[in-house]
Amino acid sequence: MVETRDGDVRETASKARSLEKAGDRLAAMEVWRAHLAGDPYSAAAHGELGRLLFKTGKAAESVEHLRQAVGLAPSKKKTWKLLAQALRHDSEGRFEAWSRVLELDPTDAEARQSLALLLLERGDGEGALRHAKALAPATPAVASDPVLIVGGKEIYFEQAGRLERGDYGHYRGERANFYPNDRSLSQDDAIANYFVKGLTPAAPPLAKDSCIVAFGSCFAAHISDYLHRLGFRVATKTEKAAYVSTMNDGIVNTYAIRQQFEWAWLGKQPSVDLWHGYDAKVLGYDESVRLATQRLFDSADAFIITLGLSEVWYDEPTGEVFWRAVPRPYFDPARHKFRVVRHGENLANIKAIYELIRARRPDAIIVFTLSPISLTATFRPVPCTVADSASKALLRSALDEFYWDAGPDERLFYFPSYEIAQRAFDRPYIDDRRHVYGHVLDFNMATFERYFCQTGLTDADLAERFRKARETDARMMREGHFAGWDIPLNKGPMASKG
């Protein structure tokens, strides 16, 4: 290779920069052409002239000089990048140029991204994904599905081992969690990524000697049974004097749950008979029961509270809300009315419950959940399917607003039992379309165990349970409700007695 005159190149570069800065690129190009007439082997001169030609839209001539530049100085990454950009209509040439950039600097994100896009154009998704995964650490992480490649008006992100394409016409923020597709749910980390991320403790907080109080709708009753079988100390299973033990899955609206805390800890008693047992008998406000409830709450290390519905019956003169529907022998149409508890009321009740617990048990774990079981019937003048959707939405929106507005509390959680039942399975409900199958229920319980209970259950164990539950779910899809005698229809679903 013929050596170039470095001093002359520096002098030419200074003169050309001054002209370019003054806005006269054509004059700057002529300076470099003159230099090349006397020094045709100057890589710098070819590179700068190629750059200026590209800037002025003369791509073909630009490529000619940039090729000479990289031939004379093949280790100049900047020149290879310019060549790759100039070869806009030559995908093979661009691929070669970006590959050389990557050889010179394996950390170059622009080269990785460009090569991934070129491979996608060729239909080589696996090759694109390899570059995309290598690119990920150099780009902002985006939740469970990192956005890896941005090209023009399209965005590519990894999901379940493949690159998916989306619209990049709108800003998505620094982080985005994408909705799972069928392939996503087949991954070992599906539950961690798509259902519990950001919602669970760093390590399971509940030991077997932790005192657990669980009541509300069905999930609390089932988690009580499940944890009791595992040997955990579930006070609402063993201490039967309190109504939250004997009626734990019958206290399902936010007013009814709040009443139990205010009665136990504040001595606040309804002015009329609101509480009735499963047999429709009046339970009353016996002081011994209140004190038993108080002792139960005072000893609790964890509260698991499941909300069930937003439709209530109430006593119109006092405004006080019944646990459930009014038993027929006590129904008075002049004073007993029906209504829907709206978002703001539910939010206020949840806040009051939380504040009472924190005032009396500041270190307790608090877990709120939402039951996936539908209404049996509605008293509204609309189809039950519509009423049920509204009932769950009112509770879920109140829980969401409360949870995210509560401020820092490392012992407060929302557990997505509702979302797991609704979104992790294709056919979660038995033939009544209200209660979930045993395999759906069992997996929900196992997910709670993995993230909240110190039993040693691992991510791999949970993934295997999910795989088996999904296999059963697939059988139900293929063969219907009676796919196998071993799949319970009316045994073990998340039954609601309300």
pLDDT at residue 496 greater than cutoff 60? no
pLDDT band at 495 (very low <50, low <70, confident <90, very high): very low
Q: Average pLDDT in the 119-129 region?
A: 78
Reported as a single tens digit per residue, the pLDDT across 34-91 is 999 988 999 998 989 989 998 888 888 989 999 999 999 999 999 999 999 899 889 8
- For residue 144, the model assigns a pLDDT of 44
pLDDT > 90? residue 20: no
32 CB neighbour count, 10 Å cutoff: 26
Q: Which residue has the higher pLDDT, 173 or 198?
A: 198
Report the pLDDT averaged over residues 412-421.
97
Q: Which of 92-96, 165-169, 209-213, 228-232 has the lowest mean pLDDT?
A: 165-169
Q: Name the band, by pLDDT with cuts 50, 70 and 90, for residue 129.
A: confident
**Residue 148, pLDDT above cutoff 60:** no
Low-confidence winner among 74-88, 111-125, 228-242, 413-427 (lowest mean pLDDT)? 111-125
Average the pLDDT over 195-222 and give the result: 93
Between 472 and 496, the more confident residue is 472
Closest CA to 148 of 179, 121, 114: 114
Determine the pLDDT at residue 141.
40
Residue 2 has pLDDT above 50, yes or no: no
88-97, 125-134, 403-412, 463-472: lowest mean pLDDT where? 125-134
pLDDT reading at 160 higher than 80: no
pLDDT at 490: 42
Confidence of residue 202 (pLDDT cuts 50, 70, 90): very high
CA-based nearest residue to 166, from 177, 150, 190: 150
Grade residue 169 by pLDDT with cuts at 50, 70 and 90: low
C-alpha distances (whole Å) from 379 to each of 58, 86, 337, 436 are 75, 70, 10, 23
**Minimum mean pLDDT range among 177-186, 232-241, 299-308, 329-338:** 177-186
pLDDT of residue 136: 58
pLDDT digits (tens, 9 = 90+) for 301-349: 999 999 999 999 999 999 999 998 999 999 999 999 999 999 999 999 9
* Alpha-carbon gap, residue 43 to 34, rounded angstroms: 14
The residue among 346 and 477 whose pLDDT is bigger is 346
**Quick one: pLDDT band at residue 135, thresholds 50, 70, 90?**
low
User: Is the pLDDT score of 8 beyond 80?
Assistant: no
Out of 211-225, 373-387, 395-409, pick the least confident. Answer: 211-225
Q: Are 346 and 404 in contact (CB under 8 A)?
A: no
pLDDT at 489 over 50: no
Q: How many Å apart are CA 149 and CA 130, to the nearest integer?
A: 12
Question: What integer pLDDT is reported at residue 393 of this predicted model?
Answer: 98
Q: Mind listing the pLDDT tens digit for each residue in 336-394?
A: 999 999 999 999 999 999 999 999 999 999 999 999 999 999 999 999 999 999 999 99
For the chain, domains (ranges, CATH) are 1-105 (1.25.40.10), 113-179 (no CATH), 211-479 (no CATH)
Of the segments 1-10, 110-119, 170-179, 433-442, which one has the largest average pLDDT value? 433-442
pLDDT for 178 equals 81
Exposed e or buried b per residue across 343-369, where buried means at least 16 C-beta atoms within 10 angstroms of its C-beta: eebbbbbbbebbebbbebbeebbbbbb
- β-bridge pairing 302-307 and 365-370: parallel
The model's confidence at residue 498, banded by pLDDT at 50, 70 and 90, is very low
Mean pLDDT taken over the chain? 87
Q: Report which residue type is found at 293.
A: T
* More reliable by pLDDT, 257 or 58: 257
Mean pLDDT, rounded, for 443-453: 97
Please compute the mean of the pLDDT values over residues 391-412 and round it to a whole number. 96
Query: Quick one: pLDDT band at residue 10, thresholds 50, 70, 90?
Result: confident
pTM of the model: 0.73
Q: What percent of the chain has pLDDT over 90?
A: 63
